[in-house]
Amino acid sequence: MRRRPSLVLALTLLGASTLSLLAWDAAPVVAQQGAPTLDQLLRGFQTMPGLSARFTEEKQIALLSRPVRSEGVLYFAPPGRLMRRVTAPTASAALIEGDTLTFVGDGRREQIPLGSNEVVGGFVSSFRHVLAGDRAALERTFALRFEALGGQRWRLRLTPRTDALRRFLTEMELVGAGAVVETMIMREASGDVTTTTFSEVNAARRFTAAEARDLFRL
């Protein structure tokens, strides 16, 4: 069965929201001894005023010899507005706001009510639980495995619990240091693997009214 673009967008945006979870001001964690715990990361996330970051993404598709590469920027404004804007090689943008996922690119505009698709809605609901720092709600959809790698380094793996999600996603893996995520690897059931590298992460970002109108506009 052909996967709908909206599902791929939901998968990627959920990964972006997990970036938000793990990328607020690192000072409270660095002051502690040893690697941060997942609960410490969640508690710190709850105070994050906003987020901006750049990303580089490489998608290894099973039928292609070379990965497909793209780059762009992410913006997040509490309580739940997320923009993912691809700047190269082809411009596109995806926005989660309210109960709607909107995509603009390739000469088209698509709006997906989150309640109309069980898988997409499930991913975005999980996104909102992440933003709220609600571990119990997040664990209803994903099994979480958090590992300390030494010093301030860590790895977090998220494995879908439901059959519907497992048909599309095998695992998401995030690796970081302190309170900043460095890479995210998304392994799909099809065999495709997407690796995203984040840079210029600003998790103390406060958007002015003018910035919010400009940066979150489709």
> CB count, 10 Å around CB of 107?
5
Q: 91-146 pLDDT, tens per residue? A: 999 998 888 889 999 889 998 887 777 777 777 767 667 666 788 888 888 899 99
Q: Say if domain 5-215 classifies as CATH 2.30.42.10.
A: no
Residue pair 206/191 in contact by the 8 Å Cβ criterion: no
Relative to beta strand 81-88, strand 92-97 is: antiparallel
Report pTM. Answer: 0.82
Please provide the DSSP assignment of 21-68 as one string: HT-S--HHHHTSSSSPPHHHHHHHHTT--BEEEEEEEEEE-TT-SS-E
The candidate with the shortest Cα–Cα distance to 169, out of 189, 185, 141, 184, is 189
> CB count, 10 Å around CB of 101?
25
Question: What gap in Å lies between CA 44 and CA 38, rounded to an integer?
Answer: 10
Residue pair 152/38 in contact by the 8 Å Cβ criterion: no
| Predicted local confidence at residue 119, as pLDDT | 75
Q: What letter would DSSP give residue 162? A: S
Torsion of CA 78, 96, 156, 203, to 10 degrees: -40
Write down the domain spans for the chain: 5-215
| Predicted local confidence at residue 177, as pLDDT | 80
Question: What gap in Å lies between CA 190 and CA 197, rounded to an integer?
Answer: 22
pLDDT lower than 70: segments of the chain: 1-35, 44-45, 125, 127-128, 130-132, 179
What region does 133 belong to: left with phi over 0, alpha with psi -120 to 50, or beta?
A: left
